[in-house]
Amino acid sequence: MMNIYSYLHRKNIVYVALGLIFLAFVSILIFSKENSLSNNIFFSIVIMILFYLATCVKFIYEDTIKTLREAEQKLTVSEKEKYFMSYYDEVTKLPNERYLIEKIYKNLEISISDKALLVFEVDRLTTIKSSLGSFYTNRMLELITERLQNQFPDYIIGKLKEDQFVILSDRKNEKEAFLTLCKQLMELMEQPFCIQHFSLNITVNIGCAYYPENAKNAEDLIKCAQFAMYEARKVPEQCIFYEPAMSCIREEQLMLENDLYKAIQNNELFLQYQPQLKLKTKHDISMEALVRWNHPKKGLIPPSAFIPIAEESGLIVPIGKWVLETACKQTKVLQETLGQPVNVAVNLSLRQLFHENFVQVVSSILEETKLPPASLQLEITETMTMDKNFLLPILHDLKALGVTIALDDFGKGYSSLSYLKDLPIDCLKIDRDFVNNMSESEHEPLVDLIISMAKHLNLNVVAEGVETMEQFNYLVNSECDAVQGYLISRPNNFERIINNCNRLEKNTLQCETQSGYYSLIKQIFN
């Protein structure tokens, strides 16, 4: 309790003093006629003390009330903050998963009508965060939220994981109407996000689930939509509706992800190499490194099955580093065995490229393996060129090391001529779909156009997926620099390639004719 003497110094002291003087005067008048002077003084003092104590109690009461009110207000603020942290996303201020589950439950209880839940993920958020920092990702999330709230004001919008959003709708229309909503969402997210001096582009993968067909409760409804979203990554439309088989697929993927963690530690990964046959006079040996996984129980697992899982889980970064290091080591051994230069191309992932200190990682690997930088070619995909603000500084730093850079899978629709002009690349790899469709007359001019465009930019051209003599002969007669595919050689293990090299006679390594060079490549890689 507060010391009562402190009240003498308060502004109310004037009130107390005047009150005491008044009481003293009144008490003397009252008691002066009936009692002695000493008794009058005694009773006056008693009354003044009682009044003083009453006044102190009043002040203490008021202060106590004030303190309690302040404590109540603080408690109310604290409770509100606690509630907000429990039910809302800190960055976007949108309802989080806990809130959404409770909200969906209440929504389902109030209304028995069918519901449709849409979950979508922002596919490049991790890359933006690792390359630019959390300020840009947080700002992008805020801008995404603004667009969603402006475009879909009548829907319940929420946030799940760092890169996942939710839209809940009464399914008053059929599937086609919901597909229209998905299309609107994709168009909305495709518009660039301007943050400071950067113009950032994203795409989204959308999964949809229905209540009560796909799920009977809120948790399962969200889970089904997420399963569909994961499958949407694999389709060009980037939007898909849930089907029961997706649950089994997702469970298998999670088991495979767990096994992939062990694969790195247990040396279950290995590299195969596929040659790139030069079509012009330069008879050097070039090949592409391709990662493979020999699962102890399931056998050989194709890259198409485990690379997307590695990308999603982040394992692609350590796997990519292992691939780069192993490819450089084995290429150096191959150079020493053949006594001549051998070039190797290594694929890069988006996460790997934008990972912290990637340029330094490449430099260290080249230094440790003693592979000449000119012997290493790093392959990027067209999807990586969407944000050249990120890409260009890294590519220029890599070029400064002395390595070459190739643009892989060209022709899938992302790059434009202006992008190619700005990128510091050395080689263009034509996507295998163009090569496979060259038998159709309308595709041959497209291949010629790509080759002509590349030549105007002083780029080498490699055609992937060459499997027939018809394709090979057409490319030989074009300005294409090299071909790669099953017609030349299937990918082979490093041990087999080394054994083939050790059996070669030294005079066969000096190729003076194109046919001799073709023969040498087949002897090494078949």
Q: How many CA atoms lie within 13 A of 251 on its CB side?
A: 6
CA-based torsion, 87, 90, 95, 100: positive or negative:
negative
φ/ψ of 298, rounded to 5, equals -95, -5
236 shares a domain with 111: yes
Q: Is residue 92 part of a domain?
A: no
d(CA 425, CA 403): 10
57 shares a domain with 190: no
* Axis-axis angle for helices 125-132, 388-401 (nearest 10): 60
CATH number of the domain bearing residue 333: 3.20.20.450
Return the residue matching tokens 């393996």.
Answer: 369
Predicted pLDDT of residue 320: 94
Predicted pLDDT of residue 171: 67
CATH number of the domain bearing residue 183: 3.30.70.270
Residue partners of 257: CB distance under 8 A and separation at least 6: 309, 312, 313, 315
Predicted pLDDT of residue 443: 63
Q: Is residue 513 part of a domain?
A: yes
387 shares a domain with 468: yes
Predicted pLDDT of residue 351: 84
Predicted pLDDT of residue 11: 45
357 shares a domain with 452: yes
Q: 497, 524 in Cβ contact below 8 A?
A: yes
304-314 burial: b if 16+ Cβ within 10 Å, else e: eebbebbbbbe
Q: 438, 449 in Cβ contact below 8 A?
A: no
> Based on the structure, what is the number of domains in the chain?
3
Predicted pLDDT of residue 402: 96
Long-range contacts of 5-12 (CB under 8 A, 24+ apart): 7/55, 7/56, 7/59, 10/59, 12/55, 12/59
Q: Domain ends where: 190, 223, 243?
A: 243
Q: Is residue 270 part of a domain?
A: yes
Predicted pLDDT of residue 2: 45
Q: 272, 290 in Cβ contact below 8 A?
A: yes
Q: Domain ends where: 222, 243, 264?
A: 243
Q: Is residue 90 part of a domain?
A: no
Q: 118, 241 in Cβ contact below 8 A?
A: no
Q: 269, 295 in Cβ contact below 8 A?
A: no
Predicted pLDDT of residue 314: 84
Predicted pLDDT of residue 25: 56
Q: How many CA atoms lie within 13 A of 299 on its CB side?
A: 0
373 shares a domain with 484: yes
347 shares a domain with 412: yes
279 shares a domain with 214: no
Q: Domain ends where: 225, 243, 261?
A: 243
Q: Is residue 248 part of a domain?
A: no
Q: Is residue 365 part of a domain?
A: yes
Return the residue matching tokens 């229905």.
Answer: 210
Q: pLDDT by residue for the chain (526 residues), tens digit each?
A: 444 444 444 445 545 555 555 555 555 555 555 555 566 566 666 666 666 666 666 666 667 667 767 666 665 656 667 777 778 888 888 888 888 888 777 776 666 667 788 999 998 787 777 777 788 889 999 999 999 999 998 888 999 878 899 998 876 556 777 888 889 999 999 898 888 878 888 889 999 998 888 888 888 889 999 999 988 888 888 899 999 888 787 778 888 888 998 898 899 999 999 999 998 766 789 999 999 999 998 999 989 889 988 888 889 999 999 999 999 999 999 999 988 899 999 999 888 888 878 999 999 999 999 999 999 999 998 777 766 777 888 999 999 999 999 998 886 655 555 677 888 999 999 888 888 877 666 667 788 888 888 888 899 999 999 999 999 998 988 889 999 999 999 999 999 999 998 888 766 666 667 778 888 888 889 8
Q: Is residue 91 part of a domain?
A: no
- 3-state SS record for 349-402: CHHHHCCCCHHHHHHHHHHHHCCCHHHEEEEEEHHHHHCHHHHHHHHHHHHHHC
Return the closest-CA partner of residue 278 out of 456, 515, 111, 69. Answer: 515
Where in the sequence is the domain holding 65, given as residue range(s)?
A: 4-84
373 shares a domain with 287: yes
- The residue ranges of DSSP E strands in 58-155, in sequence order, are 115-122
Q: 72, 14 in Cβ contact below 8 A?
A: no
- Cα 133 to Cα 70, 122, 147: the distances in Å are 40, 16, 22
d(CA 125, CA 316): 16
217 shares a domain with 295: no
465 shares a domain with 445: yes
d(CA 410, CA 427): 10
φ/ψ of 232, rounded to 5, equals -65, -20
| Helices vs strands, H then E, count in the chain | 19, 17
pTM of structure? 0.71
Residue partners of 381: CB distance under 8 A and separation at least 6: 347, 350, 407, 408, 409
208 shares a domain with 263: no
Question: Which ranges of 88-117 does DSSP label H, i.e. alpha helix?
Answer: 97-110
Tokens of 495: 């041990």
Q: Is residue 89 part of a domain?
A: no
Tokens of 314: 């982040």
160 shares a domain with 289: no
